[in-house]
C-alpha cells in the first residue's frame, strides 16, 4: 500500500522527533564530558598553585639561610680576631675586656648556629611538602593526558554528529507544512514529546483512552490527529492497520 500524504507527514515528524531526542542526548553527554574536562583542569590548576606557593616558600627560606651562613662566617671571624689579639695584650683590664668580647662573639656564633639548624629543619619540611605536591602534579598530569585525549576526541565526534543532525533536521523541516512544524515545536517545548503512538485506543503520551470519534478519524487518516487529552500529535503504527 502506498504511503498517503498524512502518513508521510507523520513519518517525517517521527523522524524529526528522533533527531531531536538524539540531539538532546548528545548535548547532555557532551556537557558531562566538558564538565569532567574542566574539573580535571581545575584540579591541576589547584595543585599547581600550591606547588608554586611551596616553591616561593623554599626560595624565601633558602635566602634566609644564606644570610645566616654569612652572619656565621662573620661572627667566627670576630671570635678569631679577638682571640688573636689576646697574646699581645699588656694590661689585665684590656685582657678582661677582650675575653668578654670573645665570649660574646662565641655566644652569638652559637645562636646563629642554632638558628641555622632550625632553618634547615624548616627547609626540610617544606622540601618534603614540595616533593609530595610535585608527585601529585605529575600524577594529575598523567591522568589528564590520558583522559583529556579521549574526552576531546569524543567531544569532536559529538560536534560532528550535532552538525549532521542539524542538517538533517533542516531538510526535514523544509518538507513539513509550517502549521504542523509550529505545533510540533510547541508540544516538544511544553511536553518533551510531540508525536506519540496510539495503541489499542490509548494515547501513549498521556495513557488516556481516545474518544471513539477521534479514534475513527485516526483510522481514516484524512489529517494529522491530536489527542484531546494531551494535545500531542498521534499516529497508528502502519502494521496495526
Residue number, 30 or 183, with CB nearest to Zn ion: 183
Q: How many alpha carbons lie under 13 Å from residue 149 in its C-beta half-sphere? A: 5
Taking a C-beta distance cutoff of 8 angstroms, is the pair 15, 123 a contact? no
Please report, in angstroms and rounded to a whole number, the separation of the first and last CA atoms in the chain.
11
CB of 40 to Zn ion, least distance (A): 45
- Set of cell numbers at residue 162: 550535532
CB of 208 to Zn ion, least distance (A): 5
- Set of cell numbers at residue 178: 509550517
Q: Which stretch binds Zn ion (CB under 5 A): 4-12, 35-43, 134-142, 206-214?
A: 206-214
How far is it between the farthest Cα atoms of the chain? Answer: 135
Q: Which of 203, 214, 218, 233 binds Zn ion (CB under 5 A)?
A: 203
Q: Is 217 in the site for Zn ion (CB under 5 A)?
A: no
Distant-in-sequence, close-in-space partners of 14: CB < 8 Å, separation ≥ 6: 195, 235
Measuring CA to CA, how many Å separate 112 from each of 72, 81, 109, 117, 125?
Answer: 6, 18, 5, 9, 20
CB of 24 to Zn ion, least distance (A): 21
Residue number, 54 or 227, with CB nearest to Zn ion: 227
Interaction with Zn ion in 220-239: which residues (CB under 5 A)?
227, 229-230
Q: Which of 37, 75, 151, 205 binds Zn ion (CB under 5 A)?
A: 205
Residue number, 112 or 205, with CB nearest to Zn ion: 205
Distant-in-sequence, close-in-space partners of 27: CB < 8 Å, separation ≥ 6: 162
Residue number, 55 or 202, with CB nearest to Zn ion: 202
Residue number, 47 or 227, with CB nearest to Zn ion: 227
What does the binding site for Zn ion look like in residue numbers (CB under 5 A)?
Answer: 203, 205-206, 227, 229-230
Amino acid at each position: 500500500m502506498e504511503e498517503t500524504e498524512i502518513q508521510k507527514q507523520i513519518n517525517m515528524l517521527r523522524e524529526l522527533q528522533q533527531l531531536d531526542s538524539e540531539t538532546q542526548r548528545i548535548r547532555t553527554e557532551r556537557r558531562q564530558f566538558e564538565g569532567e574536562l574542566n574539573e580535571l583542569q581545575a584540579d591541576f590548576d589547584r595543585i599547581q598553585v600550591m606547588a608554586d606557593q611551596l616553591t616561593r616558600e623554599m626560595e624565601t627560606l633558602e635566602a634566609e639561610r644564606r644570610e645566616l651562613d654569612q652572619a656565621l662566617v662573620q661572627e667566627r671571624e670576630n671570635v678569631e680576631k679577638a682571640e688573636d689579639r689576646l697574646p699581645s695584650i699588656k694590661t689585665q683590664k684590656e685582657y678582661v675586656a677582650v675575653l668578654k668580647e670573645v665570649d660574646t662573639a662565641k655566644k652569638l656564633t652559637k645562636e646563629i648556629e642554632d638558628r641555622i639548624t632550625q632553618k634547615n629543619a624548616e627547609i626540610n619540611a617544606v622540601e618534603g611538602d614540595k616533593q609530595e605536591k610535585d608527585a601529585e602534579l605529575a600524577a594529575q598530569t598523567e591522568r589528564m593526558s590520558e583522559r583529556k585525549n579521549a574526552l576531546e576526541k569524543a567531544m569532536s565526534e559529538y560536534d560532528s554528529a550535532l552538525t549532521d543532525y542539524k542538517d538533517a533536521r533542516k531538510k526535514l523541516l523544509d518538507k513539513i507544512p509550517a502549521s504542523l512544524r509550529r505545533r510540533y515545536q510547541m508540544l516538544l517545548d511544553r511536553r518533551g514529546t510531540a508525536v506519540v503512538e496510539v495503541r489499542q485506543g490509548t494515547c501513549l503520551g498521556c495513557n488516556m483512552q481516545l474518544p471513539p470519534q477521534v479514534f475513527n478519524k485516526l483510522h481514516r487518516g484524512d489529517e494529522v490527529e491530536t489527542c484531546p487529552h494531551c494535545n500531542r500529535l498521534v499516529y497508528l503504527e502502519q502494521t496495526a492497520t
